[in-house]
Amino acid sequence: MTPMLLYMHIPFCDSKCHYCSFNSYVDKFHLKQRYMRALHIQLQEDLQRFQVMPHSITSLFIGGGTPSTITPELYEPLFKTLHPYLCTDAEMTVEVNPNSATHSWLQGMHHLGINRMSFGVQSFHNEKLRHLGRSHNRDDAIGAITAASELGVEHISLDLIYATAFDTPTLINEDLKQAFALPIDHLSAYALTIEEGTVFQHQPDVAIEHLEQTRALFATIEQYGFTQYEISNFGTYTSRHNLGYWQHRPYLGIGAGAVGSINHQRYYPHRDIEAYLEAPCFTTLETLHSSDIKREQLFLGLRSIVGIANHLLKATEQQRARVLVDDKKLTFKQGVFYNNDYLLSDEIALFIED
């Protein structure tokens, strides 16, 4: 039985953050109920189409957009359908925006079986949050995370954004201090990237990365006791879903703008919400050639604890990887090359690749 991951996309947001290019709408709330029905139709179809076996889904990730814009009642039919396909200890994550995570919403999702919540905090500084175009403040974030913990949610994560023009080393250290004062077992720290079609596209100078500051950030997070298991992810708990992507496990992708990957094919449902509502089961297929798969394994493996197995590399590539072992950039253990510095992962991958 092949273990499988499931990603579910919720394309609604209360407002659009200045940096974000994820598929989400701020003016289509009237479509929520129809959207959840369409999502259910695609879920049922995909479970059949890909002959998903009972108990084979090891993780569910509900992402967005903003999953906390949808009431637990609207998720319920999907969870009912999904239940027989989930393994007994499935990791079930939902992304949560601090401004829309009411106590009853958190409780409702927990009752449905959600055992991991990932909060889009970005910063605990209200001024920085305003610059990023966020619609929550520091107290909303602290309140929502505390409430989730009091409800007994097993795993709690939060996202921070760094490498912005609004940062100083002091601000970043204060954000980390506040993050670690909360009951979290996981933290994602993302360097700001400038994306097309966002407010920041016209202000590219707001993204500034100083590598020595990034290294200091990583070191501080480790001092708080979290292990880095990917360039942007740290924890005392390793997310099974995240790790599954980097290990190239098959995943179902449901919802407008989601992506699935199964049997060496990637599939894309409609990105446009109206087109998706018309035809939730329509997908565009992309065949992955073995060279594409190997390239991804190389880049993802070097960004994470997954590493790259020696047997995946050609003889010339193995030779170059060994040069990097001598240079202490990589470590070789039981047939796998591991990266010692994730910030160099792309350069190392390009150096090794034929």
Per CB under 6 A, contacts with ligand SAM among 160-179 are: 161
* Nearest residue (CB) to ligand SF4, 136 versus 249: 136
Residue 195 touches which member of ligand SAM, ligand SF4, none, C-beta under 5-8 Å by kind = ligand SAM
* Nearest residue (CB) to ligand SF4, 157 versus 339: 157
Q: Is 13 in the site for ligand SF4 (CB under 6 A)?
A: yes
Backbone angles phi and psi of 97, in degrees to 5? -95, 130
Q: Is 342 in the site for ligand SAM (CB under 6 A)?
A: no
Per CB under 6 A, contacts with ligand SF4 among 88-147 are: 97, 120
Per CB under 6 A, contacts with ligand SF4 among 180-219 are: none
* Residues touching ligand SAM, count (CB under 6 A): 16
Q: Which window, 62-70, 220-228, 253-261, 337-345, contacts ligand SF4 (CB under 6 A)?
A: 62-70
Q: How far is the CB of 13 from ligand SF4 (least distance, A)?
A: 3
Nearest in space to 42 (alpha carbons), one of 89, 93, 7:
7
* Nearest residue (CB) to ligand SF4, 17 versus 57: 17
Q: Is 193 in the site for ligand SAM (CB under 6 A)?
A: yes
* Nearest residue (CB) to ligand SAM, 53 versus 191: 191
Q: Is 242 in the site for ligand SAM (CB under 6 A)?
A: no
| Buried/exposed code over 179-205 (b: 16+ C-beta within 10 A; e: otherwise) | bbebebebbbbebbeeeeebebeeeee
Between β-strands 116-122 and 233-235, what pairing exists: parallel, antiparallel or unpaired?
unpaired
Whole-angstrom CA distances from 29 to 8, 207, 269, 271 are 18, 31, 20, 16
Q: Is 32 in the site for ligand SF4 (CB under 6 A)?
A: no
The residue assigned the tokens 């590539």 is 317
> Residue 276: enclosing H or E segment and its boundaries?
helix 273-278
Beta bridge partners of 61: 7, 93
* Nearest residue (CB) to ligand SF4, 16 versus 49: 16
Question: How far apart are alpha carbons 92 and 271 in whole angstroms?
Answer: 24
Between β-strands 86-96 and 116-122, what pairing exists: parallel, antiparallel or unpaired?
parallel
Whole-angstrom CA distances from 198 to 23, 69, 126, 131, 201 are 12, 21, 21, 13, 5
Site string for ligand SAM, 5-44 (x = CB under 6 A): --------------xx-x----------------------
Residue 11 touches which member of ligand SAM, ligand SF4, none, C-beta under 5-8 Å by kind = none
Question: How far apart are alpha carbons 106 and 237 in whole angstroms?
Answer: 21
Residue 16 touches which member of ligand SF4, ligand SAM, none, C-beta under 5-8 Å by kind = ligand SF4
Contact present, 206 and 199 (Cβ < 8 Å)? no
* Nearest residue (CB) to ligand SF4, 24 versus 42: 24
Q: Is 231 in the site for ligand SF4 (CB under 6 A)?
A: no
Whole-angstrom CA distances from 237 to 97, 161, 189, 226, 292 are 21, 20, 15, 8, 30
Return residues touching ligand SF4 (CB under 6 A). Answer: 13, 16-17, 20, 22, 24, 64-66, 97, 120
